Structure 1
Amino acid sequence: MSNGPPSTTYSESNLTNTTPPDFNSPADQTHEISKAAINELIKNQVDPIWNALGKAMKERAEMQKKIDELETSEQELKNQVENFDLNNAQLVDRVEKVETENAELKQMLNEMEISGQIKRLEKQHDSEREEWKSEKQEMEEKMETLELNLNLELKNEIKKRQDLGELIMMRTELGEIGGAGHFFGNDKEIDKDGVRDEMRDKDLKKVLRLLAAGEKKINLKFYIRHNWEVAEAGWTIQFKTADKDYGGDGKYFYLWISNKEGGAKFKAIAQQIKWNGEEKNRRELRSEKDGTRERIKYEDVAGYVFVRFNITFL
């Protein structure tokens, strides 16, 4: 498009239409029109057209500019929308990634918690297992102790039964006359039709074996001028006369009894027995500690031939 005014070709009709009505009037009404007037006239007619055309072109250019601006704005808006969609998609991806990471973290925490619970349970189970082992060992030790005690009790019971059996046999064998249990019958000498005389070494040993078997009651009969010290089965008996001519003090008979455990405390009913069985000077005595032995002393009052002790161990 040229910037100069457009070339215009005027036809006869154009000229006729633009010619004033009185242009071809009679001579008295017509005037001769100069070329300059025609050009002025043409200019006056054309300038508004040019102005209108220029204005239209300007408006069109402005409109095109606005259209271009709108298109640019639309493109920018599209770009913004696309960027928004892209950012939104990226944000969604980030959110999904964060959610995935959170899920993984939760799973890790759950696994850690489960692992911790498992470890605590394992620790608890280990503790319970150790406690069970300890209780089992303690129970086994108790059972072993009970078994040992039971075996010991059985052995002791068997021994007691054996001792009891032996004791019964010895009691039966010895009888009251031999020293088993107490004897308060007529104790005159055999020459006077009595059942026994004084006890001697072998008789005293039988009584000591009876004591070792568990006997608690015995009786002893001594001749007043004898002195005895007899040991058997962990027990010892010593008798000392009161007769000065045989080592006594002239006043008391002495009787000592002891065992290896040292527990031979006893009480006794002492009597002096005449050759015909007559009894005198009955005394109830209780032993006293004398070193490792228990001892009683019995005063000689009657001077009879025998001394008898009915003894009970405490």
Structure 2
Amino acid sequence: MSNGPPSTTYSESNLTNTTPADFNSPDGQTHEISKAAINELIAQQNQPLWKAFGDAQAASMKERAEMKLRIDVLEASEQDLKNQVENFDLNNAQLVDDVEKMRIENAELKRILNEMEISGQIKRLKKQHESEREEWKSEKQEMEEKMEALESNFNEIKKRQNLGELIMMRTELGETGGAGHFFGNDKMIEYGGVRDQMGEEKMKKVLRLLAAGENKINLKFYIRHKWEVAEAGWTIKLKPASKYSGGDGKYFYLWISNKEGGAKFKATAQEIQHETGEEENRRELRSEKDGTRQRIKYERVPRYGFVRFNITIL
């Protein structure tokens, strides 16, 4: 596209129609103007317009060129930034690997140094204290022998003390209080007997007797009473046969246990007539393991009011 003015041709009729009526010479006369002069005049009038148009077009092209240059620069900067980020990630990963290797190497070095230090200390101790260690062994052996002798004496004294306490408790309770076995007439005191059924306090004394080393006891219960008494690391539990007391209507159940988990026992079980002391339904029973306890079950013949167990701890 040319930046110069276009070539325009005007006819005489056009000029005549567009020329003002008062377009006259200074002296009032009308002169005829040539076509070339008119075209030159028009070109002169349009020249500033075409120049302004050309300048605007040039400025626009320059601005577009500058914008393209800026875009190219930004794209180049973006790519450079991406490259820097990728390089940073690679360098960071390498740095992490290097740090981990150094940590492992330091840990290994510390382990080696510790082993060397311990080894050196042991060697020095062996050299410096060999004689002292031999003396200590000798003294230790003497001390152990003295301790064994003291423990033996203590255990002997303890046995004597326990035996003394056991004898005193046996004497205090007697057979009717539950110490040892009792096969005498066991009718109620009301009818001339020597005792009634046992209560909780008397059963606790029997348990303390077991804890002191006694292995023979006897227990007397009313047929509808149920008990569970614990004392001095021992426990006795009775479940009656009577359905009125939660039983199954057929068996008495007797459990004995201690803190060591043993307490196997055997028992002679009998039913006792409360007025006459008559004995019936004698059974020889041995306990069986029931969880952590030992248990016997005694089938009831429902005639008499008391049940008695003469028990031997095995």
Q: What's the TM-score bracket when you normalise by the shorter of the two chains?
A: 0.5 to 0.7
Whole-Å separation in 1 of the counterparts to 2:137 and 2:311:
48
Whole-Å separation in 2 of the counterparts to 1:260 and 1:179:
21
Instruction: Supply the AA of the counterpart residue of 2:222.
Output: Y
User: Contact 1:221/1:309 (CA < 8 Å) preserved in 2?
Assistant: yes
1:258-297 counterparts in 2 under 5 A? 258-275=257-274, 276-297=276-297
Whole-Å separation in 2 of the counterparts to 1:191 and 1:202:
21
Whole-Å separation in 2 of the counterparts to 1:198 and 1:313:
22
Instruction: Supply the AA of the counterpart residue of 2:204.
Output: K
Whole-Å separation in 2 of the counterparts to 1:249 and 1:196:
28
Whole-Å separation in 1 of the counterparts to 2:138 and 2:194:
61
Q: Name 1:166's counterpart in structure 2.
A: 165
Pairs aligned (count): 187
Instruction: Supply the AA of the counterpart residue of 2:142.
Output: M
Whole-Å separation in 1 of the counterparts to 2:259 and 2:149:
27
Whole-Å separation in 1 of the counterparts to 2:181 and 2:226:
22
How far did 1:226 drift? 0.0
Deviations 1:47-76 (A, max 9, x none): xxxxxxxxxxxxxxxxxxxxxxxxxxxxxx
Whole-Å separation in 2 of the counterparts to 1:255 and 1:226:
12
Q: Secondary structure at the match of 1:308?
A: strand
How far did 1:192 drift? 1.0
Q: Name 1:209's counterpart in structure 2.
A: 208
Whole-Å separation in 2 of the counterparts to 1:214 and 1:164:
8
Q: Secondary structure at the match of 1:222?
A: strand
Instruction: Supply the AA of the counterpart residue of 1:283.
Output: R
Q: Name 1:154's counterpart in structure 2.
A: 153
Whole-Å separation in 1 of the counterparts to 2:307 and 2:145:
50
1:87-236 counterparts in 2 under 5 A? 137-236=136-235
State the percentage of identical aligned residues. Answer: 70
Q: Secondary structure at the match of 1:187?
A: coil
User: Contact 1:241/1:247 (CA < 8 Å) preserved in 2?
Assistant: yes
Instruction: Supply the AA of the counterpart residue of 1:294.
Output: Q
Instruction: Supply the AA of the counterpart residue of 2:212.
Output: A
How far did 1:245 drift? 1.1
Instruction: Supply the AA of the counterpart residue of 2:211.
Output: A
How far did 1:153 drift? 2.0
How far did 1:145 drift? 1.8
CA radius of gyration, larger in: 1
How far did 1:133 drift? 6.6
How far did 1:302 drift? 4.3
Deviations 1:67-102 (A, max 9, x none): xxxxxxxxxxxxxxxxxxxxxxxxxxxxxxxxxxxx
Q: Name 1:98's counterpart in structure 2.
A: none
Q: Name 1:9's counterpart in structure 2.
A: none
User: Contact 1:187/1:196 (CA < 8 Å) preserved in 2?
Assistant: yes
Instruction: Supply the AA of the counterpart residue of 2:183.
Output: F
Deviations 1:179-205 (A, max 9, x none): 000111111111110000110101100
User: Contact 1:221/1:307 (CA < 8 Å) preserved in 2?
Assistant: yes
How far did 1:214 drift? 0.8
Deviations 1:103-162 (A, max 9, x none): xxxxxxxxxxxxxxxxxxxxxxxx9x96x8766544432322222222222222222111
1:67-106 counterparts in 2 under 5 A? none
Deviations 1:10-41 (A, max 9, x none): xxxxxxxxxxxxxxxxxxxxxxxxxxxxxxxx
Q: Secondary structure at the match of 1:267?
A: strand
User: Contact 1:280/1:302 (CA < 8 Å) preserved in 2?
Assistant: no
Q: Name 1:300's counterpart in structure 2.
A: 300
CA RMSD of aligned residues (A): 2.0
Instruction: Supply the AA of the counterpart residue of 2:196.
Output: D
Gaps of 5+ in 1: 1-126
**In the superposition, relative to structure 1, how do residues 135 and 302 fare at CA in structure 2: closer, same or farther (>3 Å)?**
farther
* Alignment pair present for 1:251 and 2:250: yes
Whole-Å separation in 2 of the counterparts to 1:280 and 1:133:
76
Q: Secondary structure at the match of 1:289?
A: strand
Q: Name 2:119's counterpart in structure 1.
A: none
Whole-Å separation in 1 of the counterparts to 2:285 and 2:140:
50
Whole-Å separation in 1 of the counterparts to 2:160 and 2:267:
28
Gaps of 5+ in 2: 1-126
Whole-Å separation in 2 of the counterparts to 1:140 and 1:262:
40
Please give the TM-score of this superposition, normalised by the length of structure 1. Answer: 0.56
